[in-house]
Amino acid sequence: MRFKTVELPYHVYIGEGEISKLGKVLESLEVSYFLLLTDSVVKNLVVVNLRNELAEWDYDMVIVETAKMEEARKIMLQSGFSDYDAVIGIGGGKVLDVSKVVSTEMNATLISIPTTASHDGIASPVASFKENGKPISISTNPPSAVIADLSIIRNCPIRLLRSGYGDLISNISSVRDWQLARDLVGENYNEVAASIAVMPAQLMVSKADELDLTLPPHLLMLMRGLIMSGVAIALVGSSRPASGAEHKFSHAIDYLGYGNGTHGEQVAIGTIIMEFLHERHYGKGNWELIKNSLEKVNAPTTAKEIGLTKEQVLEALMLAKKLRKKRFTILEAINPTKEEFELILSKTGIA
């Protein structure tokens, strides 16, 4: 029998005041010397309050300026490739992505301490950078520990929480794409990873009527879902459970450089479109449920709200069909025409 070794976060803490567990986590992971990466805002708002937690540890702190490969290299050079046992990333996507690359390159344990809940990169083994204005993904090791302190995350802009919600519910259409690939082209499908990715999303969508992302139990649910997305990705060693055609659409927008939407806002609108296609062609999917739930949390559901025109959305959809063709999705299955996309945009009220 053959088993595959997978790396998953060993310590996961989500809740109020959980940052106080940092010392315990460091001890358990046998860390004696670490590199702390953060940004200047988080340093002044969060890291300053960690004096007690950090006092007895030997560490260096570096401020992350940009989410680029070059930045990760610069940090490694600056630190003289010291013998860190761990890299601790405290911050949003930019800091965590750079932390993932630095810890992987330096062969150090990663401890992820998110200060936002804007996407599922918190616990995933993938770093997303923009190089020369174009999005790229880099495979990294997953974090060994994730400490999500809701009393810190609650203070991030509400738009980021709504974006995180969008990225979470996009798992509904990405898992549907995965099932389509299993059924039509015989792709390997992992039921456990698919369930881990999709169940928290379905739970939140089903509760959409009462959702308020600032309420502690709902924020907890969101955070748990985003971390589980990352775990699902780590489990199969691919973003498959959390990235389908709706992500291709978002990547296309990024390539074209259109609009002002966040990752989560773009994939959420993509999810409405792809759910429509699934429903229309295969009788599975519920775009109205997705749209209603986004409206309930006040996330954008129209092109205009994220600075896109109808023509730009259509161009992005046509480009999405050409991206990453090997990842079989609803776009590869039915190869929709521009006219069909136009019809969907008008029926869903997106543009």
Which residues of this protein are in contact with Zn ion, per CB under 5 A? 167
Measured from the CB atom, is 50 or 143 closer to Zn ion?
Answer: 143
Residue nearest Zn ion, CB atom distance? 167
Please state the closest distance from residue 152 (CB atom) to Zn ion, in A. 22
Cβ pair 340, 288 in contact under 8 A: no
Measured from the CB atom, is 18 or 167 closer to Zn ion?
Answer: 167
Measured from the CB atom, is 99 or 250 closer to Zn ion?
Answer: 250
Cβ pair 229, 120 in contact under 8 A: yes
Please state the closest distance from residue 129 (CB atom) to Zn ion, in A. 14
Tell me how far apart the alpha carbons of residues 61 and 206 are, in angstroms, rounded to a whole number. Answer: 42
Measured from the CB atom, is 109 or 301 closer to Zn ion?
Answer: 301
- Amino acid letter, residue 38: T
The residue whose two tokens read 């489990």 is 235
Measured from the CB atom, is 165 or 287 closer to Zn ion?
Answer: 165
Cβ pair 129, 138 in contact under 8 A: yes
Tell me how far apart the alpha carbons of residues 68 and 147 are, in angstroms, rounded to a whole number. Answer: 24
Please state the closest distance from residue 178 (CB atom) to Zn ion, in A. 14
Please state the closest distance from residue 139 (CB atom) to Zn ion, in A. 15
Measured from the CB atom, is 26 or 160 closer to Zn ion?
Answer: 160
Tell me how far apart the alpha carbons of residues 287 and 23 are, in angstroms, rounded to a whole number. Answer: 45
With a CB cutoff of 8 Å and minimum separation 6, the contacts of 51 are none
Cβ pair 271, 265 in contact under 8 A: no
The residue whose two tokens read 């082209």 is 185
Please state the closest distance from residue 251 (CB atom) to Zn ion, in A. 10
Please state the closest distance from residue 179 (CB atom) to Zn ion, in A. 19
Tell me how far apart the alpha carbons of residues 306 and 313 are, in angstroms, rounded to a whole number. Answer: 11
